[in-house]
C-alpha cells in the first residue's frame, strides 16, 4: 500500500514545477500528462528549474547540487546551471538558534562560553555557523543545525522516494536512468550530512590519520558533539579567492595544488576515509602555505574490499589494460548476465579515447562520468562510495582550475600511482590477508570431518551427493562418484597438511619454554596428534575406496 502522508507534498512539488514552466521535466518522468506552459530556450528552462528548486526548500537545493555532479545522468547544459545553485541561504535569527545551543549543552551554554556572536559567519540549508569564545579564551566555531530541519528533510525524502517509484512505473526514461536508485543515493548522502555528531567523529579520525606537513585539520570537541551541535577550533585563515591567490607566486600555488592532491590520495588509499567535497570554499590558507581543510559533513569511507578494487581499477587504467579493468569491474556484477566481450570492447574504446592522447589534455571528471555511463548501460550497480569518489574528483578538478589553471590533473596520477602501488605491495597488509585467509581455511578444516561423515552416510544410504536433473548411465554415475571421492581426498589432504604444519610450528615455538613441560599442554599435543592420525587413516581408507571404484 502506498504511504499517503509523504505524498501530501507531492501535489505541492508538482504545482511549483508547473508554475515555473518546468512541466516538461515532470512529463519525461511520467508524473504529469497534458499541455502546459513551456520555456522555449535552454537558458530560460534551466533558470526556471533553479527557481523551482530554491522555492521548494533546503532538500531540493541539495538535490540540485547533488545532480550537478552526475554528468552520467543529465545533459551538460543543465549540469552547468545546477552548479549555480546558491550554497548560502538567509540566516535565521539568533533567538531561533540559542535554544538549540542551550538544549545540547545541558541547558546552560554560559557555562562553556564567555561570548557567542549573534550574527553568523555563514548560513547554509542545514545549519549556520556562529563564532564564539570558550571560557578558556580559545576561539571556536559553533555549527548549529536549523530547528526542525531533520523532520522536514526526512519528509521530503519520503516524498521523493514515492515520486521516484511512480516515475519508474510510468516512464521508460525514469527506469533507464534508475531514478529510484538515484534518490536512494541522494538520501544516503543528505542524511549523513544532517548528523553533526557523525561529522565530528569523521573529523577526529581524519585528524588522527593526517600526517601531511602542509595540511591542517582543525580540532573538534568530540565529547560535546551532538546531532544538532558541533564545536570546533576556529580557523582564521584566508579564503582561496582571486585576491588571496593574486598575492601568491606560481610555485606557491602549485604547492597548494600538490598538497590537496597528495592529501586526498593519502586519505583515500592509506586510510579509506576521505573528504568528498574538496571545493575551494572548504579550504583556508594559513601561514607558510599550509592549507586547513574544513567541513567534514560529506566524507566517504571505503571498505578494504572496495579499496582493493579501486586500486586494481587504477592500475589497469594506467596500463591501458581493458581486460584487467573489465575483470575488476565485473566483481561489482551480481547478476552474472553481462556480455563480457561487449563490455570489454566498450571499456577498450573508452580507454583508447582518453589514454592515447596527451595526459595533460585528459578531462578526468568526464572520464569518470563515461565509466559510470558504460557501467549503467550494462546495469552494473556502482557502489555509493565510488560515486562519492567521482564527485570528489569533479570538485577537485574545479579547485585545481582556480589554483593552477595550467597544471593538469596528470599531476594527480604522477603522485597517486606510486602510493597506489605501495599500498598494493604493503607487506603488513599482505600478511594480514594471509592470516585472515589461513583462519578461514582453518575453520573450514575443522568442519571437514563432519562434512566427510555426512557425505559418506549419504553414499552408504544410496543418496547422491550431487543431485542433477539429467539421465545418466551407470558408468557416468560411477565416474561422478569417483570424482567426488577424489575431491574429498584433495580437500582432506589440504586440511591434513595445514594441521600438520600448524603442529610443527606450534611445537617448535613451544619447545624450550616452560609451557612445553606443562601437563595440560602435553595432553593437548597428544589430542592434536591423535586427530592428525585419524585424518591419515581416513585418507588411506578413501584412497583404497577410490582405487576399488
The 10s digit of each residue's pLDDT in 461-509 is 666 555 544 444 555 556 656 666 556 656 655 565 665 555 555 555 5
What is the per-residue pLDDT for 4?
43
Q: What is the mean pLDDT of residues 153-173?
A: 92
pLDDT digits (tens, 9 = 90+) for 423-447: 555 545 545 554 545 545 555 555 6
pLDDT of residue 414: 64
Question: In this predicted model, which residue has the larger pLDDT, 119 or 515?
Answer: 119
Q: Is 291 helix (H, G, I), strand (E, B) or coil?
A: strand
Q: How far apart are CA 7 and CA 174, in angstroms?
A: 19
pLDDT for 45: 73
Q: Residue 157: is its pLDDT beyond 80?
A: yes
pLDDT number for residue 430: 47
Rounded to an integer, what distance in angstroms lies between the CA atom of residue 530 and that of residue 507? Answer: 15
Lowest mean pLDDT among 71-75, 135-139, 195-199, 303-307: 71-75
Q: Report the percent of the chain where pLDDT is more than 70.
A: 67
Q: Is the pLDDT of residue 537 over 80?
A: no
Average pLDDT, the chain: 79
Q: Which residue has the higher pLDDT, 472 or 15?
A: 15
- pLDDT computed for residue 418 by the predictor: 65
Confidence at residue 2, expressed as pLDDT on a 0 to 100 scale: 40
With a cut of 70, say whether residue 347 has pLDDT above it. Answer: yes
The rounded distance, in Å, linking the Cα atoms of 537 and 482 is 19
pLDDT (tens digit per residue) in 410-422:
665 566 556 655 6
Position 469 scores a pLDDT of 47
Per-residue pLDDT at 168 exceeds 90: yes
Interval 51-109: pLDDT, tens = 899 899 889 989 988 888 776 566 666 777 777 776 667 899 999 999 999 999 988 88
Task: List strand residue ranges (DSSP E) for 50-138, in order.
Answer: 113-116, 122-123, 127-134
Q: Of the candidates 193, 230, 202, 200, which has an alpha carbon nearest to the alpha carbon of residue 59?
A: 193
Answer whether 0.85 is exceeded by the pTM.
Answer: no
> Cα(195)–Cα(69) distance, rounded to whole angstroms?
22
pLDDT tens digits for 235-289? 999 999 999 999 999 999 999 998 998 899 889 888 899 999 999 999 999 999 9
And the C-alpha cell for 302?
571505503
Query: In Å, what is the CA distance from 122 to each residue of 53, 64, 127, 130, 458?
Result: 21, 20, 9, 8, 72
Instruction: Name which of 39-53, 351-365, 517-531 the model is least confident about.
Output: 517-531
Position 292 confidence tier, pLDDT thresholds 50, 70, 90: very high
The model's confidence at residue 401, banded by pLDDT at 50, 70 and 90, is confident
- What is the mean pLDDT of the segment spanning 392-400? 86
Coil, strand, or helix at residue 129?
strand
pLDDT confidence of residue 1: 36
**pLDDT grade, residue 355 (50/70/90)?**
low
Amino acid at each position: 500500500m502506498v504511504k499517503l502522508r509523504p505524498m501530501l507534498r507531492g501535489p505541492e512539488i508538482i504545482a511549483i514545477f508547473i508554475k515555473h514552466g518546468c512541466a516538461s521535466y515532470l512529463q519525461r518522468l511520467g508524473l504529469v500528462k497534458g499541455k502546459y506552459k513551456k520555456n522555449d530556450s535552454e537558458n530560460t528552462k534551466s533558470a526556471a528549474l533553479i527557481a523551482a528548486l530554491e522555492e521548494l526548500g533546503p532538500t531540493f537545493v541539495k538535490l540540485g547540487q547533488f545532480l550537478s555532479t552526475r554528468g552520467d545522468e543529465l545533459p551538460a547544459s543543465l549540469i552547468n546551471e545546477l552548479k549555480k545553485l546558491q550554497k548560502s541561504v538567509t540566516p535565521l535569527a539568533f533567538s531561533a538558534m540559542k535554544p538549540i545551543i542551550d538544549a545540547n549543552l545541558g541547558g546552560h551554554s554560559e557555562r562553556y562560553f564567555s561570548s557567542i556572536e549573534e550574527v553568523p559567519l555563514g548560513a547554509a540549508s542545514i545549519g549556520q555557523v556562529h563564532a564564539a569564545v570558550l571560557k578558556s579564551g580559545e576561539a571556536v566555531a559553533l555549527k548549529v543545525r536549523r530547528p526542525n530541519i531533520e523532520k522536514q528533510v526526512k519528509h521530503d525524502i519520503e516524498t521523493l522516494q514515492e515520486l521516484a517509484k511512480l516515475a519508474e512505473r510510468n516512464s521508460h526514461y525514469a527506469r533507464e536512468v534508475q531514478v529510484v536508485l538515484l534518490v536512494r543515493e541522494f538520501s544516503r548522502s543528505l542524511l549523513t550530512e544532517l548528523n553533526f555528531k557523525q561529522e565530528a567523529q569523521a573529523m577526529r579520525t581524519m585528524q588522527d590519520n593526517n600526517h601531511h606537513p602542509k595540511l591542517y585539520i582543525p580540532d573538534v570537541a568530540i565529547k560535546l558533539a551532538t546531532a544538532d551541535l558541533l564545536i570546533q577550533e576556529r580557523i582564521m585563515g584566508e579564503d582561496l579567492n582571486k585576491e588571496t591567490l593574486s598575492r601568491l607566486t606560481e610555485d606557491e600555488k602549485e604547492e597548494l595544488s600538490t598538497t590537496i592532491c597528495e592529501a586526498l590520495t593519502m586519505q583515500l588509499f592509506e586510510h579509506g576515509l576521505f573528504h568528498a567535497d574538496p571545493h575551494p570554499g572548504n579550504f583556508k590558507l594559513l601561514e607558510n602555505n599550509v592549507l586547513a581543510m574544513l567541513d567534514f559533513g560529506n566524507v566517504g569511507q571505503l571498505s578494504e574490499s572496495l579499496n582493493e578494487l579501486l586500486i586494481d581499477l587504477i592500475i589497469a587504467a594506467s596500463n591501458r589494460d581493458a581486460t584487467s579493468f573489465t575483470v575488476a569491474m565485473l566483481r561489482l556484477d551480481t547478476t552474472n548476465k553481462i556480455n563480457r566481450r561487449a563490455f570489454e570492447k566498450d571499456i577498450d574504446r573508452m580507454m583508447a579515447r582518453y589514454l592515447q592522447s596527451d595526459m595533460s589534455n585528459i578531462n578526468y571528471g568526464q572520464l569518470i562520468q563515461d565509466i559510470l555511463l558504460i557501467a549503467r548501460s550494462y546495469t552494473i550497480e556502482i557502489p555509493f562510495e565510488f560515486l562519492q569518489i567521482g564527485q570528489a574528483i569533479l570538485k577537485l578538478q574545479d579547485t585545481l582550475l582556480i589554483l593552477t589553471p595550467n597544471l593538469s590533473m596528470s599531476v594527480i596520477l604522477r603522485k597517486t600511482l606510486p602510493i597506489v602501488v605501495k599500498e598494493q605491495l604493503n607487506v603488513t597488509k599482505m600478511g594480514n590477508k594471509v592470516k585472515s585467509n589461513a583462519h578461514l581455511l582453518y575453520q573450514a578444516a575443522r568442519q571437514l570431518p563432519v562434512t566427510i561423515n555426512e557425505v559418506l552416510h549419504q553414499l552408504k544410504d544410496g543418496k547422491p551427493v550431487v543431485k542433477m536433473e539429467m539421465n545418466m548411465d551407470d558408468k557416468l554415475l560411477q565416474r561422478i562418484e569417483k570424482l567426488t571421492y577424489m575431491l574429498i581426498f584433495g580437500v582432506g589432504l589440504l586440511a591434513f597438511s595445514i594441521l600438520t604444519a600448524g603442529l610443527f610450528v606450534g611445537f617448535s615455538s613451544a619447545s624450550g619454554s616452560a609451557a612445553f613441560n606443562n601437563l595440560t599442554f602435553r595432553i593437548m599435543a597428544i589430542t592434536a596428534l591423535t586427530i592428525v592420525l585419524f585424518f591419515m587413516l581416513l585418507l588411506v581408507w578413501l584412497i583404497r575406496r577410490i582405487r576399488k571404484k
